[in-house]
Structure 1
């Protein structure tokens, strides 16, 4: 195709939407971003967002609507260890027991989990630990159920192939899915007739060591940038899902772009509205001159 088509791969907490509404939200956010950071007459590509919320409709450990409660008892021993390794890797727990009641959790929660969550809360703010817990649990669920994971990858691959996109934007768990697909050779490489040549990850949990282990990478192993694919990683240092770090130290030739998403550090639309995303999408659009300008 000559027109630039963007494929957006969402995170998992999308149970109250569908592919049409999700695509509309992403298209509007990207259009606002390009208008502000590039210009109102700049080309605005179409965004296709393959939806997989019906495959993982709620995730394994869900937060309440106010994101202050979590069903920790839903985790098995393997998942609990995965989550604890992740939490404690970037925020070692305080040896002191956290004050009773500060986490809003039932008394039967293990002291190790309580301390780990308290450490995240101290670093990122109230309830951040449970946000991380929920998102990392979703990542665990993706690796745990390979049948569902393959369905997710199939939907993303279909969107990439049907649109002929050269640009993928992946948010949160979506960045894990897309990286996994690159490893499996399920993303068409750049070629004279198309293929993906630009990846933008936003709010990615790929920095967490247990996540990289699930991808088959050892402790000292680095994330490998897909050959001939430029990779921009956009992260808010106050986004606890990113562990407050970029990916350039873990992935050679990845460009990190720290941003400020204000009061909602992990939100997809806030990431899409940031200047590094707008400029990178615009640069890709220039290479596809048939993209129509905004009216």
Structure 2
């Protein structure tokens, strides 16, 4: 049996402390068992056979950023202060995530600002953060804020983005992988590569990658912040690439929504990951649809 080579493109936060070997092992172990062949009645195999998973880590090229709070001064050890450009990005990204929060901000009590530690946040960001929680649920903004700040470091810093893409491209070339599994911000990274023509191609110009599976993708609300694609135009992949998108209804990153209404040829699949950490990559990878996609990729 020939080996099926898979490259994983991880979310930025997941790779801050993990090596390529650790990420690859964890993703490989999380894959659902391959289903039995139709009509055979045979039990599912204990794991996907003949599969090699490589998940390159960006930790050596992606700078450490603040994760939970937006800091105001250099005395904060966990990240640089937010400048005006990043503040505008954060406000724009959060508004794109939940457009209704902009209207909700007007009704907020602003007397909280400067108290209970919230004064460390720029007042506009703090107000929008509270509006997010009011609209989407308590604590949602805390989970979104680290994501948006790290997304900014990729989307608005060309040298960082180029280094991340080159790390992924090098692995694609070395493995000759035909399948990409892209989680969270990793789906934006890989879509950016597709848009730039940075993935390996065959002699006839067709992409080597024939199967793309995105997991918990923020493409519907984050990609337009950078202009990864033209606003108002559908998201696109190269001809010959089968794209399946998994999303959990309770995952705050895709806001419980798929991509089929925004992307040509994408197939949305609902992944019920539960209420506890539904954005977790291993919960996505364990879904039977992943094993089915890999079987289809092997048969192609």
CA contact 1:98–1:118 (8 Å) conserved in 2 = no
Taking the aligned partners of 1:46 and 1:98, their CA distance within structure 2 comes to 54
Deviations 1:223-244 (A, max 9, x none): 1122211111111121111132
Equivalent of residue 271 in structure 1, options 284, 291, 297: 284
Q: Gapped runs of 5+ residues in structure 1? A: 64-69, 288-295
Taking the aligned partners of 2:128 and 2:163, their CA distance within structure 1 comes to 33
Q: Corresponding residue for 2:53?
A: 47
Q: Corresponding residue for 1:10?
A: 10
Deviations 1:169-226 (A, max 9, x none): 0111111110111111111246789810110111111111x53241343431221122
Give the deviation of 1:8 after TM superposition.
0.3
CA contact 2:165–2:193 (8 Å) conserved in 1 = yes
SS at structure 1 position matched to 2:243: strand
Taking the aligned partners of 2:51 and 2:215, their CA distance within structure 1 comes to 18
CA contact 1:171–1:268 (8 Å) conserved in 2 = yes
Deviations 1:142-188 (A, max 9, x none): 12221222111111111111111110001111111101111111112
Whether 1:20 and 2:21 are equivalent positions in the alignment is yes
Q: Corresponding residue for 2:75?
A: none
Q: Corresponding residue for 2:107?
A: 96
Taking the aligned partners of 2:180 and 2:231, their CA distance within structure 1 comes to 27
Taking the aligned partners of 1:166 and 1:113, their CA distance within structure 2 comes to 42
Q: Corresponding residue for 2:86?
A: 79
Q: Gapped runs of 5+ residues in structure 2? A: 38-43, 73-80
Give the deviation of 1:58 after TM superposition.
2.4
Give the deviation of 1:57 after TM superposition.
4.3
Question: Residues 127, 27 of structure 1: CA spacing in aligned structure 2 closer, same or farther, 3 A cutoff?
Answer: same
Question: Residues 115, 224 of structure 1: CA spacing in aligned structure 2 closer, same or farther, 3 A cutoff?
Answer: same
CA contact 2:70–2:120 (8 Å) conserved in 1 = no
Taking the aligned partners of 2:50 and 2:34, their CA distance within structure 1 comes to 9
Question: Residues 44, 126 of structure 1: CA spacing in aligned structure 2 closer, same or farther, 3 A cutoff?
Answer: farther
Taking the aligned partners of 1:2 and 1:152, their CA distance within structure 2 comes to 29
SS at structure 2 position matched to 1:212: helix
CA contact 1:62–1:134 (8 Å) conserved in 2 = yes
SS at structure 2 position matched to 1:107: helix
SS at structure 2 position matched to 1:113: helix
Q: Which moved more, 1:182-191 or 1:133-142?
A: 182-191
Give the deviation of 1:34 after TM superposition.
2.1
How many pairs are equivalent? 276
Taking the aligned partners of 1:20 and 1:122, their CA distance within structure 2 comes to 41
CA contact 1:235–1:257 (8 Å) conserved in 2 = yes
SS at structure 1 position matched to 2:259: coil
TM-score, L = length of structure 2: 0.83
Q: Which has the larger radius of gyration?
A: 2
